Amino acid sequence: MIFSTPIFLFGFLPFFLLAYYLAPARYRTMILLIASCLFYGWWKVGYLVLVLAIASLSFVAGAVATRAPVHSQRVWAVRLGIAANLAILGWFKYAYFIAGSYDDALTRLGVSQDSGLSFPEIVLPIGLSFLVFQSISYILDVARGDAPPAARLVDFLAFSSLFPQLIAGPILRYKDLAHQFNHRVHSLAMFATGARRFITGLAMKILIADSVAPLADRIFALNTPTLAESWLGAGAYAIQLFFDFAGYSAMAIGLGLMLGFKFIENFNAPYISQSITEFWRRWHISLSTWLRDYLYVPLGGNRGNAFKTYRNIILTMVLGGLWHGANWTFLLWGIWHGGLMALERAMGIKQRQTVWPRVIAWPLTLTFVLIGWVMFRANSVSQAFGMYAGMFGHNGVAMSTELVLLTRPTEVICLLIGIFLALAPTWSNHLSIPAWMGSLPTFNRARCLALFVFCAVVIQARGDAPFLYFQF
């Protein structure tokens, strides 16, 4: 089920909220778990069993890690719990990639394909990467004593399958929500704030991301894009991805507030960053902090010499790139960002906001980001380098007449609106209005209602459009 569909907006969500708030407080977690199972099982019931199995396994590993009488048993509980999570993720996400890379290597060596690897059809469960990272953080947190173990299995299953964020984050940590399962605050003001965040996220997805998506797809499908086409395509994808993913995060945070939960913010105007290091403090915050706490720091962080610090930065970003998908493009994207962050570290980014000359810090950083997004978006490394050739003017400069004719005015208008909102420090305020009008409750309610109705009309006209991060 997808947030931006009529079945969710006018079927699942209102009936769930009605059942949730009519039920006594002690039953609300169970209702949330049942609703989350229905939400995920709507896609594939069989994979719902997998989600619950991963959560149960992590719950048991955490319990053993804190209660086993022998230290070695606690250590092995942590190791086996993490290994099992990674093995499941590896099978579903990387089996084809490993097999394909192995077969390609055999072909280049002239070895018969009879020696290659083959696997049965594998469908990646939606949200598996997010679930595995959340499970690993739970096991490590309770083993270190940084978080209390879940007292009840139902609480942890509800946390692991929490439908507002299960599919595409933010990546939550149980220690941040543990007390909220026992003492959630429900109020009309909190619910109204959540509803506004949800509608804002819905508008980001429907009105901006989905409107710009055809333009980005059209340009990335070109065989020989020109300079203007390549940079336009990179910019369009940057806006599409940001408003798609940040829109989902806003919707998830809004749904959480409607249910009494406070989730971590996941974006903070990333396209105004003055360096790549700052960009990763603002983009996908729940992932970047997870990589820092559970990968970069355990690798040694900056505790060793300069070489080890740079190595740890690059390795962290490479693994973060591979987390997004099983493709060489993601690995190279991770190397690109990791290499730039290591370079900025060598230039002294730790002591100041940016190491680049102030005049060019923002445009240079944005250029680095756009170059990276090309590799991230491309289906293959060769397609990415085809775009790069166009960005350097190898295929000409101007846009082709055909592309100009195919580009709709609404795509350009929404792209320009997206650029304005993304570069404004207060981008989350999707409408720029006078302060006195924004302070009027009646105006705020009317604005949200009008925006929701407009989104609903557009949804009915366009049909379903899955979020980009579903594939990760």
- Residues designated as active site: 324
- Which is nearest to 254 in space by CA: 163, 164, 176? 164
Assign 89 to helix, strand or coil: helix
DSSP label of 424:
S
Phi, psi dihedrals of residue 200, rounded to the nearest 5°: -60, -45
Residue type, 71: H
CA–CA separation, 40 and 161 (whole Å): 8
Please give the C-alpha separations between residue 56 and each of 30, 47, 175, in angstroms, as whole numbers: 15, 14, 17
CA–CA separation, 172 and 168 (whole Å): 11
DSSP label of 295:
I
| DSSP output for 103-167 | HHHHHHHT--GGGS-------PPTTHHHHHHHHHHHHHHHHHTSSPPPS-HHHHHHHHT-TTTTT
CA–CA separation, 281 and 404 (whole Å): 37
Residue 383, C-beta contacts closer than 8 angstroms, at least 6 positions apart: 220
Half-sphere exposure of 282 (CA within 13 A, CB side): 19
Indicate the length of the chain as a whole number.
472
| DSSP output for 156-207 | HHHHHT-TTTTTT-----HHHHHHHHHS----HHHHHHHHHHHHHHHHIIII
**Helices 45-67/153-160 angle, 10° precision:** 130
- Two tokens, residue 93: 């996400």
